[in-house]
Structure 1
């Protein structure tokens, strides 16, 4: 029983849920929470629960691939049955819908699109070269928009959403290179399978270069203070190095890229805070 509960928790990937919730909170903070603190909190909870649901259903559909790429995950190792994972995902999706019903119409619309995207990612888009990466990138970027929509302001988080989506695309390509053996075994036509590892990594590098080039834009638009430029420059450097590292060690690059993403989020927060002080 204890192993089952532990496996169910692992299915949700709590770290990813917290990270997604932080991005939504950041979007709300940048947009200006004002008197909408409760709505922002509900949006954060909705994001975390929806991501948990998406992770669980992803593991359900990926159970055969994970038996090759990630045999220690809950379903391949027998801690959670496929039916149990599906039931958990359904319950979490229902909870996310319940939370989203209390949010403004724009936030509710984003939530509806994202819930459909979470379900269709593994079943439709994951094995399509580039499209699966683009969908995940949209989902990550949209967490900023969701936070802004929850407090009634979409303009400020829009650039942040685009920057997050571009950098996430690169990270997803590196992840596909890391998972190449299992994806090829299962017949998934991810970008590295379709065009080769190095070409896929160069596509990811080009996307990241665009994100880095436009990363000063929030400062130039007056959304963030000068401290943003300092912190985002460090984040850019970490992500660029991770992209370079991906050509030789995609597993290490994946881990390093997450640090860069965290620093970029920190840059958004301190950049906005600098204007409020």
Structure 2
């Protein structure tokens, strides 16, 4: 392998799209908390720490998952030989150290969240991934907590708690559907994921039920007075996409979980719209 191929492999280990997405979610958490303009250095540090930590977590996940990926994802960096397992592990440690260095610049609640999340990222693949539902729940928490981390970095968690819960529900739904997609490789590796434990169809029904709870709960930020009507109008298309995606997953789990991701990002956008409308109404921006 050439140096260029190795560099490309290292970048792939981080899942750049996931890194960008998680960084954006942290930014949204800070924005919803109203601290982007007043606490800009903290916001930047939180966003960068999130990106580095997610990249590190994805790299170490590929390190632990290298045998499974030879079946499920043979084109990934380690199975195809672009990066050695030892190189992936060292790379993830460097990213983790950089993430910790940035997180330590933030307020104590944000540091606490970062510490919990870093431990969870390392423990996920080795201890939780093969446990029915628990691995999915941990990933769901990690995604939802990015909003809390961004809000805690600027000192105000408030509305981000609801956003965290809704994002976690949507992510848990998607993770279950992804496990249905990966049943063959997971069974070959001896993992006991939820679809393997209770059956693929039942797992999809669990995912659909969770999503229904999230959709029904999505008006809460408006009901609780955190946001104005603009949020409610913006979240409707996101809910519609996620409902269609859940239905689609019964026939095509790959397409269903992919479209569910789009719906989740639209829901996050609804929170931006809700916060922006609130600030415009009260003349904060």
Partner of 2:31: 29
Instruction: Check if 1:130 corresponds to 2:133.
Output: yes
Query: Is residue 194 from structure 1 mapped to residue 197 from structure 2 by the alignment?
Result: yes
| Alpha-carbon shift at residue 220 of structure 1 (Å) | 1.1
**1:155 aligned to 2:155?**
no
User: Aligned to 1:215, which of 213, 218, 221?
Assistant: 218
- Give 2:283's aligned residue: none
**Is residue 273 from structure 1 mapped to residue 276 from structure 2 by the alignment?**
yes
Shift of 1:149: 0.4
Give the Å deviation of 1:42. 0.5
Counterpart of 2:261 (choices 258, 261, 268) is: 258
Identify the residue that residue 181 of structure 1 maps to in structure 2.
184
Per the alignment, residue 141 of structure 1 pairs with 144
- Which stretches of structure 1, 4 residues or longer, exceed 4 Å deviation after superposition? none
Cα distance in 2 for residues equivalent to 1:155 and 1:225:
16
1:65-144 aligned within 5 A: 65-144=68-147
Structure 1: unaligned runs, 5 residues or longer: none
In structure 1, the residue matched to 2:48 is: 45
Write the distance in 1 (CA, Å) between the matches of 2:267 and 2:16: 20
Aligned-pair distance for 1:258? 1.3
Cα deviation digits, residues 116-160 of structure 1 (max 9, x gap): 000000000000000000000000010010011000011120000
Q: Map Cα deviations across residues 212-249 of structure 1 (whole Å, 9 max, x no partner).
A: 00100001112122111122111011011111111110
Give the whole-Å Cα distance in 1 for the aligned partners of 2:226 and 2:175. 28
* Residue 241 (str. 1) matches residue 244 (str. 2): yes
Q: CA deviation at 1:22?
A: 0.6
Which residue matches 1:10? Answer: 12
Cα distance between partner residues in 1 of 2:153 and 2:90: 28
- Provide TM-score, normalisation by structure 2: 0.96
Aligned length: 277
**Deviation readout 1:234-272 (Å, 9 max, x if unpaired):** 101101111111111011112111110111111010111
Distance 1:155 1:265 in 2: 16
Looking at structure 1, the residues matched to 44 and 137 of structure 2 have their Cα atoms a distance apart, in angstroms, of 27
